[in-house]
Amino acid sequence: MEARTIRIIGLDPGLRRTGWGVVDSDGVRLIYVASGVITPPSDDDLAYRLRALFEGVCGIVSSFKPAEAAVEETFVNENPRSTLKLGQARGTVLLAPAMSGLRVAEYTPNLIKKSVVGSGHADKTQIQAMVKFLLPKAKFDSADEADALAIAITHANHRASAAVLAAHHLKVART
């Protein structure tokens, strides 16, 4: 029986820099497809920065045609304004693939680190090293790209359980 390859986009949301990474997974192997960073103009008003994020993610989804998306869950900063702005960026990044009809999964930073490195408290250099190891053909220039690829890798490893959980939530919501 031939394994079905699934294309996954991982997104690491941020208002200044949103990392993205696309991988193909056949359930056993991971293949690097592409990665990059969306950088909205920092001198624009918030609404226009969010629009730039939305259009950027929509363009990437349109170009690479992933079947599923995964986004990192927000952590809470000490600064409430920063947390709110990150939440708005994250909402925009969640909406873009959803508008294209993709199933969107969310993962905590600790689960992503544990899935990729084996420790929920790994640092950025450990994540980058493991992403390079797991995706030897990956070409990335920033921690944002490496994080996005780590999110895609996490989804490749957890997508079956995420689908079961989503179906359960849908069933509960209908009753």
Question: Residue 35 belongs to what H/E stretch?
Answer: strand 30-38
Here the tokens at position 75 are: 């952590």
Sequence ranges of the domains in the chain: 6-174
CA distance 30 to 9: 12
CA distance 118 to 146: 16
Backbone angles phi and psi of 114, in degrees to 5: -65, -40
CA-to-CA dists, residue 108 to 29, 75, 121, 137, 161, angstroms: 23, 8, 12, 26, 15
CA-wise closest residue to 6 among 170, 152, 140, 127: 152
Higher local confidence (pLDDT), 88 or 169:
88
Query: 6-174 maps to which CATH number?
Result: 3.30.420.10
**Residues tagged active-site:** 12, 72, 144
Residue pLDDT, tens place only, 10-38? 999 999 999 999 999 988 899 999 999 99
How confident is the model over 43-68, as a mean pLDDT?
96
- Per-residue confidence (pLDDT) for residue 162, from 0 to 100: 54
Residue pLDDT, tens place only, 94-109? 999 999 999 999 999 9
pTM over 0.85: yes
